[in-house]
Structure 1
Amino acid sequence: MSKANWWKGAVIYQIYPRSYQDGNDDGIGDLKGITERLPHIAELGADAIWLSPIFTSPMADMGYDVSNYTDIDPTFGTLADFDAMVARAHELGLKVMIDQVLSHSSDQHPFFEESRQSRDNPKADWYVWADPKHDGSAPNNWQAIFGGIAWEWEPRRRQYYFHNFLKEQPDFNFHNPEVQDWLLSTMRFWLDRGVDGFRLDTVNFYFHDKHLRDDPADFRLDGTQAIKPYEMQYHIFSKNQPDNIGFLEKMRKLMDEYDDRTLVGEVGESHHPIEIMGEYTSANRLHMAYSFEMLSAKFTAEHFRHQIDQFFKLAPKGWPCWAMSNHDVPRHVSRWAGHGDQDAVSKLAAAMLLSMEGSICLYQGEELGQTETDLEFAELTDPQGINFWPEDKGRDGCRTPMVWEKDAPNAGFGGVEPWLPVKAPQAARAVDTQQGVEGSVLETYRALLKLRRETPDLREGRTMFAETDEPVLAFHRGDKTVCAFNLSATPQQIEIDGIEETLFALDAEVADGKVWLGANGALIARLG
């Protein structure tokens, strides 16, 4: 790929800063710790890192409630620490991407503290305010993702403000051009500091319906199947507004002022996410986008085939970014545990993901085959888990500290008890138990990243799916590469002619035009 298109087909490694490495022994990961461990990511073979939020925050939602968009939270260090981390990453050949939480701020942000004082101050229209109904109730039926209605009463204004998430996370009013310009200026601050791109949190949440119309009931549910009231609505007015497109184009124009920068947007939507991904990555908008379609419990060949096929049908000039785990969902090795041996499923998932057309996000610990941590209620910090326990145990289970040395205190994360516990099943998968061990999950990831980097078809080649029955997924990438995967613990056999060389195999054999795939087997091969 050209230097400007480094992101196309790239592998981006997501770091959850609180949980990567504790550099000052206070129990919380930080920038100095990340800098210390960057060689691990470079040796893995990733192209870039993405850091979840590190900005100043009261941490009501672990940094996704920002109170200062142009400074580092003391928990993680200083701007000087950030600059040193960027310099080290670039020295190692890693691009640096950071999370931008633009849809909402913290309620402790100075602009919101001013906005809530009255209806006529300079920031009065910077957030979404609305009068109550005549009976004093909320302006409409919009629900908050973390529970309850999405409106909070402010007695000083005698109005409600809108929050898609916690009440401590008021939504910006993107219908105000001043808000848009100011948010773009905060992005410019980090671009001038040398970041190579942004991961845009909840990129389809920016605008709301000006008329505040009620969201209808979700036509797919009977009202009894959802754990959260939010999931019982079809969010056609509280988000996904057409106005969003204009702001995405403004962001892209800003990015194009700089060399070799990129935008990847998180599409938080359950109804038509692939369509939104396609729309948002068309023309001069986002470079790439991802949704939660591969972050679910679904594990069938048809499911994975449909996501990729549908995206490129809807947006032939767009670009996806695929992930199987991140900081918001249970780890995929645990989600898909019923489909085979833990290590085998982990390696199979890696082979599938790193063969897909698009860019790729890996979540820290994924390269170790890390599993979801089983936490007690008293150990939780995540408001989602606290509010919906035990049906939804929240996101802490995938956010526990990275494990480096099995027998070291806290598995090498730091010298004091960490903010979330390191438990024995997770410590057993530490880096030092897998480093240099042939066939380990870690070495399998390294081999696959090396293969992807050295095989143009796997980074740039278009996808053509083979007609296979469950549980086999098979496709060609470009002119010369073929990939086949057995999504079950039962051996399978398919026919593929013309294989000249096996590039990668997991319990797979080729003979006489036939490919035998063992339990959770995988094959990547070159055609003659």
Structure 2
Amino acid sequence: MSKAPNNQWWRGGVIYQIYPRSFADSNGDGVGDLPGITARLQHVADLGADALWLSPIFKSPMKDFGYDVSDYCDIDPMFGTLEDFRTLVQHAHALGLKVMIDQVLSHTSDQHPWFAQSRASRDNPRADWYVWADAKDDGNPPNNWLSVFGGSAWQWDTRRRQYYLHNFLSSQPDLNFHNPEVVRALLETVKFWLDLGVDGYRLDTAPFYFHDQQLRDNPGRGKATSGDAAFPDVNPYTWQRHIYDKERPENIGFLQQLRALVDQYPDTTMVGEIGTDDSIATMAEYTRGDDRLHMAYSFDLLGADWSSPFLHNLLQRFADKSRGGWPSWALSNHDVPRVGSRWGGPDCNPKLLRLAAVLQMTLRGSPCLYQGDELGLPEAEVAYEDLQDPYGITMWPEFKGRDGCRTPMPWDSTAVDLGFGNHSPKAWLPITGAYRKLAVNLQQRDPDSMLHFYRQLLHWRRSQPVLIKGEQSLLPVHPQVLAYVREHAGERVLCALNFSDRPATLNLPTGLQAAAVLDLPGLQGGRLQGGELAFEAFGGLLLSLA
């Protein structure tokens, strides 16, 4: 198979994640949809993003809000039609935006026709399309694997009198990637959307494709936390080392098949979601060379630790392991609390939010923004009776789930529904009153708003090839200041950011000489004094080096 040309727009491109249910509702039914997104695409283009990523829009019973697919080749009616999708792609392309979609390959819905046939008997043509296993002699599941969402990863099925594997909800049975027919069928669904004009994929749960065929028990590691934001401490999933239920060696071969297919289409890309025991190492492995994922992101920046030593260690580990692999750095997404609340608490200092944005836009890699990041939205409070997320309902009250980052976008402060839909206060998740003062219409009028800061930052970054294409080297670890040099085509820029609420100083290492302070709109609180950098709390500096 021959490779199509690729202009590598994704290498440093800014990706804007849209959660379709909560972005814009065109018909007033309380659920966001494709026409609503299309009508709001100018906002994404004005922001300065290069691409948008749509969370799942396929047909689904919505037990996990689209991550349980019942038809890979059609749009769920709540979002619109295939024609609506074509219109969205056309309009996005006209605005200079690429379109990436969320591809959920590791599992389907239990309502998918493939599973309906597979569970019907042990000898039908799709009997081996999912992961089935006999019970132990005492009736228990075949091994100790756990579901991310709680309890055993095995569900008893009375039709086949066997257990089937589900790494997530019991209504999300895992496909059997050891069956070549399954792989061929999935690749056909990937091709379907490429032929419709999508520019890339976000691959959900990329390490979960293959399982250990011997079904060996995962070893325990005690009640230690994983430190991964995807898995809260109260979830016993973190008590195992997940070496047999995911991240199997066979995954690499499938990623290579995916890459070979995607590479047949011009200017396309893939970013994989990585959640493993050592996500940084997996990111590095899955992005190594030019025949696997183009890029990957992990949950390491989606947790509560944002200290300079933590960030330094994270970036150094990726650099040591990656051998040129390309990361995508996200500070928020639809699975974790909003970055302002997670890092800054209920009274987050706006300077910390701006510093975090500068970090994301100056690191080597491709930034991925989540809708509302550009407004500085905090985590929404959602009452138990209003919860929709099955993860949160199961783990309540110590873990409240993911609904707090999924409530509708605030577009218009004067509208009862904040401009989300058809002026109705009823939406699939409650309208967040605290968002009224952060609505887009208000921030557009305020030149000092977070929205204007993000727009200036993204557009300024486009004029700095060193920040998009440059290599990266870290300065020695500092208790308060994260500092790194980006270098490209003879140009060097030092990025120094004080991730503490106290003043700090940093001496320029021998061999580094500042030529000028770069004027980045909105970045304040740092100054150059001879060979010393001085910072206010949450201050930063970007310096052009001689």
Class of the TM-score when normalised by the shorter of the 2 chains: over 0.9
- State percent identity of aligned pairs: 52
Cα separation, 2, equivalents of 1:342 and 1:399: 22
Given candidates 460, 471, 474, the residue that maps to 1:465 is 474
Amino acid at match of 1:134: D
Does 2:259 match 1:252? yes
Q: For the Cα contact (< 8 Å) 1:340–1:489, is it kept in 2?
A: no
Given candidates 66, 70, 76, the residue that maps to 1:67 is 70
| Cα distance change, pair 3–321 in 1 and its aligned pair in 2 (3 A) | same
Amino acid at match of 2:310: H
Of residues 311-320 and 78-87 in structure 1, the stretch that sits farther from structure 2 once superposed is 311-320
Partner of 2:246: 239
Q: For the Cα contact (< 8 Å) 2:514–2:543, is it kept in 1?
A: no
Partner of 1:189: 192
Amino acid at match of 2:339: H
Does 2:285 match 1:279? yes
Does 2:276 match 1:264? no
Partner of 2:58: 55
CA RMSD in angstroms, aligned pairs only:
1.6
- After superposition, residues 144-223 of structure 1 pair within 5 angstroms as 144-218=147-221, 221=224
Does 2:452 match 1:452? no
| Cα distance change, pair 222–328 in 1 and its aligned pair in 2 (3 A) | closer
- After superposition, residues 393-404 of structure 1 pair within 5 angstroms as 393-404=400-411
Residues 20-57 of structure 1 show CA distances to partners (whole Å, capped at 9, x for unaligned) of: 00011100000000000000010000000000000000
Cα separation, 2, equivalents of 1:467 and 1:281: 26
Find the residue that maps to 2:206 and give its secondary structure.
coil
Cα separation, 2, equivalents of 1:371 and 1:339: 8
Partner of 1:492: 504
The alignment's TM-score, normalised by the length of structure 1, stands at 0.97
Shift of 1:427: 2.1
Partner of 2:297: 290
Partner of 2:142: 139
Cα separation, 1, equivalents of 2:104 and 2:262: 17
Tell me the number of residue pairs that the alignment of Structure 1 and Structure 2 aligns.
525
Unpaired runs of 5+ residues, structure 1, are none
Find the residue that maps to 2:541 and give its secondary structure.
strand
Partner of 2:493: 481
Q: For the Cα contact (< 8 Å) 1:339–1:487, is it kept in 2?
A: no
Partner of 2:524: 506
Q: For the Cα contact (< 8 Å) 1:339–1:488, is it kept in 2?
A: no
Amino acid at match of 2:526: A
Q: For the Cα contact (< 8 Å) 2:312–2:477, is it kept in 1?
A: no
Find the residue that maps to 1:435 and give its secondary structure.
helix
Shift of 1:407: 2.1
Q: For the Cα contact (< 8 Å) 2:225–2:233, is it kept in 1?
A: no
| Cα distance change, pair 340–406 in 1 and its aligned pair in 2 (3 A) | closer
Amino acid at match of 1:499: A
Q: For the Cα contact (< 8 Å) 1:280–1:286, is it kept in 2?
A: yes
Does 2:266 match 1:228? no
Cα separation, 2, equivalents of 1:145 and 1:212: 17
Cα separation, 2, equivalents of 1:212 and 1:365: 42
Partner of 1:410: 417
Cα separation, 1, equivalents of 2:528 and 2:447: 22
- After superposition, residues 361-372 of structure 1 pair within 5 angstroms as 361-372=368-379
Shift of 1:120: 0.4
Does 2:400 match 1:382? no
Amino acid at match of 1:419: W
Residues 201-256 of structure 1 show CA distances to partners (whole Å, capped at 9, x for unaligned) of: 00000000000001111257299x94112111111001110010100000000011
The alignment's TM-score, normalised by the length of structure 2, stands at 0.94
Of residues 444-453 and 167-176 in structure 1, the stretch that sits farther from structure 2 once superposed is 444-453
Cα separation, 2, equivalents of 1:498 and 1:228: 48
Cα separation, 2, equivalents of 1:261 and 1:347: 31
Find the residue that maps to 2:188 and give its secondary structure.
helix
Of residues 11-20 and 410-419 in structure 1, the stretch that sits farther from structure 2 once superposed is 410-419
Amino acid at match of 2:320: K
Residues 131-163 of structure 1 show CA distances to partners (whole Å, capped at 9, x for unaligned) of: 000111111111111111111111111100000
Cα separation, 2, equivalents of 1:72 and 1:220: 42
Shift of 1:436: 4.3
Cα separation, 1, equivalents of 2:325 and 2:536: 35
Residues 445-464 of structure 1 show CA distances to partners (whole Å, capped at 9, x for unaligned) of: 11111122110110011112
Find the residue that maps to 1:204 and give its secondary structure.
helix
Residues 86-119 of structure 1 show CA distances to partners (whole Å, capped at 9, x for unaligned) of: 0000000000000000000000000101110100
Cα separation, 1, equivalents of 2:455 and 2:225: 46
Shift of 1:513: 3.3
Q: For the Cα contact (< 8 Å) 2:223–2:238, is it kept in 1?
A: no
Residues 347-372 of structure 1 show CA distances to partners (whole Å, capped at 9, x for unaligned) of: 11101111110111000000011110
Partner of 1:306: 313
Unpaired runs of 5+ residues, structure 2, are 227-231
Q: For the Cα contact (< 8 Å) 1:406–1:428, is it kept in 2?
A: yes
